[in-house]
Chain A
Amino acid sequence: MPLVKLEGVTKHYESGDESVYALDDVSLIIYKGEFLSILGPSGSGKSTLMNVLGCLDKPTSGFYQLDDHDVSTLSCNQLAAIRNNKIGFIFQSFNLLEYATALENVMLPLVYAGVNIKKRRAKAAELLKRVGLEDRMSHKPNELSGGQKQRVAIARALVNDPQIILADEPTGALDSKSGAEIEALFSELHHEGRTLIVVTHDISLARRTKRIINIKDGKVVEDEILDRSSAIYRRREGD
């Protein structure tokens, strides 16, 4: 049973006489527990793919199934609920609320999930601890370094125990040391059994993943499994 199933997904932009296929007939299957990187030149459609996967954007055509839900037929409210409890999104530019503390930022998804304040606080604190920021909980984003901000964002992505974690160039805005810390964190998450999809230009990050998808002009041009010893793929081979 795949976690993600894309069939013939197309995203088409039309502006003036220019017509761009950001995604062109993409079909893809992703299983639970996979650690996958998406590579490709700038403008190839990586972010577009991530936004579709993260239910932030709707494809022009095609079929998208996420964990039993046919996402293409869902309403705004249902999509919001999916984003809230099935998806954790990590952005290159962190996307934290500037006037809220680290703790409040991490708590935000739980607010919209209707979790009570006590549990919210406890869960968010636990995750900040998990990413090594227990002493930065009441700091606001402008009092944090880039790496720390990204760790807050990761804690926020994890707070609802999502089925799938999407990261669009998570180390793109970081220095190499902070980048390496984030990479290590991702590996840990993978070993915990989480499903991670990472868009990156960073070869060292891509090498940590178990599967690399190459995109060009909105098309999947290469889909390579790096580590066949990994449990998920062994099981699949056996199917």
Chain B
Amino acid sequence: MIAFRQIIQEMAAEKLHLGLTILAIAWATVSIASMLAVGEGLRQGLIRTTSNGNGDLIILTGGFATLDYGNFSKGKQLNLKPDDVDVLRALPSLAQVEPSAVWASSVTFKDNGTWQQPLAVYPQYKELTGLQVTAGGRWFNPLDIKEQRKVIVIGRNAAVSLFNEDDDYDWDNTPDLEASPIGRQVKVGEEKFTVIGILKNNPSNIENGTPIDYAVFVPFTTWQRFHVNPSLGAINIKPAPGADREKAAATARQVIARKYGATTEDMQLVQAQDMLLRQKTMRQFLIALQSFLGIIGLVTLAVAGIGIANVMYATVKRATRDIGIRMAVGAKPGAIKLHYLIQAFITISIGGAIGLTLTYALVQLLQNIPIQGSGFYDYLGQPTPELSFSIVSVVIFALSVIGIAAAWFPANHAAGITPLEALQSE
């Protein structure tokens, strides 16, 4: 019931207006799609940085009492001990519990030192925090633990600052290692350690914000060998899958507080920080950012929509006589309306397709530009714009809504003309 061919012919007769409308729609599509893609890229980057390191852990630490209760008076410190881990491991809501301790000495090689003091950990710590060792080296093994070996694994940037001769160290652009440090001797305090592994670059943090790239690790038992009645730095907890994270954290605090005769009321004395919750807030912020960018794009699209409506009104006005002819030979108002809705649909489809193709090309281009060695860029998780399926869907949905809204009124107007009025126009 629709003269499809004539829709095309009519459009062909309006090439200039049509071209400009298509351009406007294409531009609006590029702006909305690329803004959403940039937002998505940032979001994905953040997910990358936080899904390893301490990203999904609960970090349990001891602090100073702020309440007088039981064994604790105000200002007294609670020090976590290695055997605390055992009581926590008994809890079913916790999947993994790993202690870590800070060896309070600096790591040195010749005149160079590291920024971070060594962390004493068990081999399981690697899997817990997603550490990776570069080829040629290795991570701690059970024998290192058993024999309390003096071996050390070093974060990549820490290794560069220790072993590279070059003095002018650029924080934003870490140079490559000049030679493999595996097998070399470094000092922790006065003790000599052998380097057995260098970590791969990883922009994430561990513990309470130590960058993996700058961290240095020694076997937990080796640290114990050199310290009498030592205290832990933190206990890293991974809740069981499906467990209520908040409850798991509360239970862990409660167990530790009870063990030391303290109160769980004192939030400073036993602290449990859920890194995932922190990350969630960040994700929410990014979703908000993405929505904001999307809204800007949507406004652009709405402006394009007004353009479509205008051009359509003009087209209908110019075609009034033709509308009269169609009606005179039997076109129903609905057919006339459909005629202009289809015309708008075709225009928008072409504009949208061009816009999405351009955006796709743009995104591909940006994804292929190598940006490397920028600290800030790494920190953001090396974000690149991503034209995901959901973004394309959102864009198409927005285009459809705005296109229909823009075409509806001119099409209705066209359908409302009486045949005689239309024939007598001009």
Contacts and interface: CB of A to CB of B under 8 A. Distances in A.
A85 B330 contact: yes
Interface stretch (B1-9, B26-34, B188-196): B1-9
Contacts of A109: 329-330
B325 A84 contact: no
B327 A80 contact: yes
Contacts of A80: 327, 330-333
B373 interface: no
A54 B330 CA distance: 11
Given A95-B324, A95-B325, A76 B333 contact: yes
A225 interface: no
B48 interface: no
Given A56-B419, A76-B333, A77-B333, A112 B10 contact: no
- The bracket for how many chain A residues form the interface is 20 to 34
A155 to B, nearest CB: 12
Interface string A3-26: 000000000000000000000000
Contacts of B296: none
A108 interface: yes
A96 B9 CA distance: 14
Contacts of B322: 97-98
A100 B329 CA distance: 15
Q: Which of A83, A108, A112, A156 has the most CB of B within 10 A?
A: A112
Contacts of B334: 77
Nearest to B11: A99
Interface string A144-176: 000000000000100010000000000000000
A89 B326 CA distance: 12
B340 to A, nearest CB: 15
A104 interface: yes
Given A97-B325, A99-B9, A112-B326, A76 B420 contact: no
B288 interface: no
A84 B330 contact: yes
B329 A112 contact: yes
B3 A108 contact: yes
A214 interface: no
Given A97-B6, A99-B10, A112 B330 contact: yes
B330 A83 contact: yes
B423 A81 contact: no
A95 B423 contact: yes
A99 B13 contact: yes
B329 A83 contact: yes
Contact of B6 (A89, A91, A104): A104
A189 B334 CA distance: 33
Nearest to B329: A109
A77 B336 CA distance: 12
B299 interface: no
Nearest to A94: B325
Given A95-B423, A99-B12, A77 B332 contact: yes
A238 interface: no
A112 B325 CA distance: 12
Interface in B309-367: 321-322, 324-335
A57 interface: yes
Contacts of A85: 330
Nearest to B415: A76
A111 B3 contact: yes
Interface in B6-59: 6, 9-10, 12-13
A184 interface: no
A76 B330 CA distance: 10
Contact of B328 (A81, A83, A99, A100): A83
Interface in A58-83: 76-77, 80-81, 83
A113 interface: yes
B420 A56 contact: yes
B6 A100 contact: yes
B13 A84 contact: no
Most chain A beta carbons < 10 A, residue from B12, B324, B332, B333: B332
B335 A112 contact: yes
Contacts of B332: 76-77, 80-81, 112
Interface of A: 51, 54, 56-57, 76-77, 80-81, 83-85, 89, 91, 95-100, 104, 108-109, 111-114, 156, 160
Given A89-B328, A97-B322, 17 more contacts: A54-B328, A56-B420, A80-B327, A81-B330, A81-B332, A83-B329, A83-B330, A83-B419, A84-B329, A89-B329, A91-B423, A96-B325, A99-B9, A100-B6, A109-B330, A112-B330, A160-B330
28 contacts: A51-B420, A56-B328, A56-B419, A56-B420, A57-B418, A77-B332, A80-B330, A80-B332, A80-B333, A83-B328, A83-B329, A84-B330, A85-B330, A89-B328, A89-B329, A95-B328, A96-B325, A97-B322, A99-B9, A99-B12, A100-B5, A104-B5, A108-B326, A108-B329, A109-B329, A112-B3, A113-B330, A114-B1
